Amino acid sequence: MIRTILAAAGALTLGACNLSGDAGSGADASLDVPEVEDGDISEATMIDITRELSSDEFEGRMPGTEGETKTVALLTEKFAAAGLEPGNNGSWTQKVPLVEITGKDFAPLTVTGDNTELSFESRKDWVGVSYREDVQTSLEDSELVFVGYGINAPEREWNDYEGLDMKGKTAVILVNDPDFGTESLEGPFNGKAMTYYGRWTYKYEEAARQGAAGALIIHETEPASYGWNVVESSWSGPQAYAQRGENAAPLTVMNGWIQKPVAEQIFKAAGQDLSALSTAAKSKGFKPVALGLKAATSFRNDIRTFESQNVIGVLKGKTRPDEYVIHTAHWDHLGRCTAAPDGDDICNGAVDNATGTAALVALAEAHGKAGAPDRSLVFLAVTAEESGLLGAYYYASNPVFPLSQTVGGINMDAFLVGGPSKDVTVVGPGKSQLDAFLNKALETDGRTPTPNPNPEAGYYYRSDHFAFAKQGVPMLYVDGGEDLVEGGREAGAALGTEYRENRYHGPKDEFDESWDWSGVMQDLQLFYRIGRMLAMSESWPNWNEGDEFKATRDASCEAGEGC
Ligand SMILES: [Zn+2]
């Protein structure tokens, strides 16, 4: 899933303030945040493993391919050499049942009504996929309904589907949430910060819950925070999904995106004004609008079920081995993707996320060299993140180590190898008491926390820690800083933009022998300290009062051992 280095001018800097915000400070005082030594972390490990995992031999590490076999073999070999034990009851892997659905032979998307015959081309104007294991997908005569942001949030007394029977219809949905575009963090949907309601995953889940046959999100680069090229390549070709268990959630027939100009054409044909209705959709009490037009399309699907793998290693704790600190990173990437003009069609995924996977090994080695701490350290390389955090969701709903005995963790996704920085970027600042461990670790190298400058992009919901957070486990997601030693915030923002526009989720996310790894090594030392502190601490850090995940954690602690 999307993970990109934040490139936004004018990032907020809070200097050395305590990030856990007022809510946490009182409780933080009672937290046991022990002193720890720095780790002996190998830069050679980072370089060698990132280079190897992102080489063409690994073919972009698509789940269910030879690339997976090679990746799992490399990781188990390196975890063993680092002194870890197999994490899953004697096995290094946890099988993750997936299904791969590849759409093909796409008919145009037609939109018809009285005096209206519109036809749109797949990939250029729209993309569509089926989550259902049907060899044939057909959307027929499906009434189009504009449902604004497509949100049903009872706790915010907001329901864009109020009084609507969506059976057999197709929802046309805006991306992000109604607060998009505001400057402050105040508002019914946390102001500028995207809530989970803004994510495409939520939009499809809700449309399906409403009984819709189709769900089409209107693409716009800013509220989506990525261009059509990303949508086109991510929603085309083989798509992996979790195999559906017994009482799995309902599914639409088809989920997809349409380009904004296409949506404008459709609204015009319906005698409606998209921008006026988009403004109306920002207010509570917005009423969905039937467009009086019908959509239709069809395509065929190749279906393949297979088992992918999460790779798990553990460094058993000395005195409290049944308490776990977890490090996560996804090993998978996009495999073969839309070719670059030079014909290169391997999405090598060097930054995303060969770096994070290499970091798991480098940290495991360093902790191994330092000897076992009091609590156990878990290193979890998850699969199928690019298809919707599937490996992480599977682990979080089938945990090897009970979640109530999981103290918390650190997720690592995409180190942009841009040289040392004076700060780090905190995605989801002020959410939990883990910030106290982060602040302590930052003090040691005199760096400062910068709250994620693009809260509107919803990065906290876009990588593997989210699957754990959703189950209540406190998770930190910290990224490289933007305030680079060489060139400051300007250089950092430029690097982020360059990555997002030229390399992200494309064939050019490749290893570069000239990279300066000193910034990455700084960040790894930070993650080492935090992991070590958590593994020596007596405390069970929780989410701060009012955080969306606290209730889940409290319930899981109530029900289980540990926290
Ligand atoms: Zn990633």
Burial of 465 (0-12, 13-18, 19+ CB in 10 A): buried
In one-letter notation, the amino acid at residue 348 is N
Q: How far is the CA of 494 from the centre of ligand 1 (A)?
A: 20
Q: How far is the CA of 414 from the centre of ligand 1 (A)?
A: 6
Q: How far is the CA of 403 from the centre of ligand 1 (A)?
A: 23
Separation between Cα atoms, residue 219 and residue 173, nearest integer Å: 9
Q: How far is the CA of 331 from the centre of ligand 1 (A)?
A: 9
Using left for φ > 0, alpha for ψ between -120 and 50, and beta otherwise, residue 343 falls in left
Structure tokens at 494: 């430029």
Contact 415, 515 (CB under 8 A): no
pLDDT at 27: 55
pLDDT at 246: 63
| pLDDT tens column, 181-204 | 888 888 889 888 888 899 999 999
Structure tokens at 229: 């090229």
Q: How far is the CA of 149 from the centre of ligand 1 (A)?
A: 26
Q: How far is the CA of 528 from the centre of ligand 1 (A)?
A: 20
Q: How far is the CA of 412 from the centre of ligand 1 (A)?
A: 9
Q: What is the mean pLDDT of the chain?
A: 92
* Helix, strand, coil share (%) of the chain residues, nearest 5: 30, 25, 45
pLDDT at 247: 64
pLDDT band at 3 (very low <50, low <70, confident <90, very high): very low
Q: How far is the CA of 194 from the centre of ligand 1 (A)?
A: 19
What H or E segment, with its residue span, contains residue 312? strand 289-315
Mean pLDDT confidence for 508-519: 97
pLDDT at 155: 86
Q: How far is the CA of 384 from the centre of ligand 1 (A)?
A: 10
Separation between Cα atoms, residue 430 and residue 438, nearest integer Å: 11
Q: Nearest 5°: phi and psi at 506? A: -140, 175
Q: How far is the CA of 355 from the centre of ligand 1 (A)?
A: 10
String of DSSP letters for 353-388: IIIHHHHHHHHHHHHHHH---SEEEEEEEES-STTT
Separation between Cα atoms, residue 187 and residue 194, nearest integer Å: 11
Separation between Cα atoms, residue 202 and residue 158, nearest integer Å: 15
Mean pLDDT confidence for 212-228: 94
More confident position, 226 or 366 = 366
Of residues 290, 281, 265, the one with CA closest to residue 109? 265
Q: How far is the CA of 333 from the centre of ligand 1 (A)?
A: 7
Residue 4 predicted with pLDDT over 50: no
Give me the CATH topology for the region 101-303.
Answer: Glucose Oxidase; domain 1 (3.50.30)
String of DSSP letters for 517-541: THHHHHHHHHHHHHHHHHHH-S---
Residue 10 predicted with pLDDT over 70: no
Cα dihedral 257, 509, 70, 531 in deg (nearest 10): -90
Q: How far is the CA of 509 from the centre of ligand 1 (A)?
A: 11
Q: List where CATH 3.50.30.30 sits in the chain.
A: 101-303
Residue 14 predicted with pLDDT over 60: no
Q: How far is the CA of 265 from the centre of ligand 1 (A)?
A: 34
SS3 label, residue 254: strand
pLDDT band at 331 (very low <50, low <70, confident <90, very high): very high
| pLDDT tens column, 91-113 | 999 999 999 999 999 999 999 99
String of DSSP letters for 265-300: HHHHHTT--HHHHHHHTTSTTPPPEEEEEEEEEEEE
pLDDT band at 230 (very low <50, low <70, confident <90, very high): confident
pLDDT at 193: 84
pLDDT at 352: 97
Q: How far is the CA of 352 from the centre of ligand 1 (A)?
A: 5
Residue 432 predicted with pLDDT over 60: yes
Q: List where CATH 3.40.630.10 sits in the chain.
A: 43-99+305-557
Q: How far is the CA of 328 from the centre of ligand 1 (A)?
A: 11
Separation between Cα atoms, residue 410 and residue 396, nearest integer Å: 14
Paired with 136 in beta bridges are: 300
More confident position, 271 or 5 = 271
Q: How far is the CA of 415 from the centre of ligand 1 (A)?
A: 10
Residue 166 predicted with pLDDT over 90: yes
Q: How far is the CA of 2 from the centre of ligand 1 (A)?
A: 6
Separation between Cα atoms, residue 484 and residue 491, nearest integer Å: 7
Separation between Cα atoms, residue 131 and residue 390, nearest integer Å: 13
Mean pLDDT confidence for 502-510: 94
Class of domain 43-99+305-557 as given by CATH: alpha beta
Structure tokens at 1: 């899933």
Q: Are strands 423-426 and 448-451 parallel, antiparallel or unpaired?
A: parallel
Structure tokens at 305: 């079920």
Kindly list the distances between the CA atom of residue 236 and the CA atoms of 61, 169, 352, 390, in Å, as whole numbers in the listed order: 17, 23, 19, 18
Q: How far is the CA of 153 from the centre of ligand 1 (A)?
A: 28
Separation between Cα atoms, residue 463 and residue 449, nearest integer Å: 20
Q: How far is the CA of 387 from the centre of ligand 1 (A)?
A: 10
Q: How far is the CA of 180 from the centre of ligand 1 (A)?
A: 24
Contact 386, 1 (CB under 8 A): yes
Separation between Cα atoms, residue 147 and residue 287, nearest integer Å: 8
SS3 label, residue 221: helix
Q: How far is the CA of 80 from the centre of ligand 1 (A)?
A: 25
Q: How far is the CA of 411 from the centre of ligand 1 (A)?
A: 10
CA 275 to chain centre: 29
Instruction: Report the range of poorest mean pLDDT among 8-22, 104-118, 145-159, 390-404.
Output: 8-22
Q: How far is the CA of 1 from the centre of ligand 1 (A)?
A: 6
Q: How far is the CA of 504 from the centre of ligand 1 (A)?
A: 9
Q: How far is the CA of 462 from the centre of ligand 1 (A)?
A: 8
For ion ligand 1, residues whose CB falls within 5 Å:
3, 352-353, 413
More confident position, 544 or 12 = 544
Separation between Cα atoms, residue 476 and residue 429, nearest integer Å: 9
Separation between Cα atoms, residue 454 and residue 239, nearest integer Å: 28
In the chain, the largest separation of any two C-alpha atoms, in whole Å, equals 75
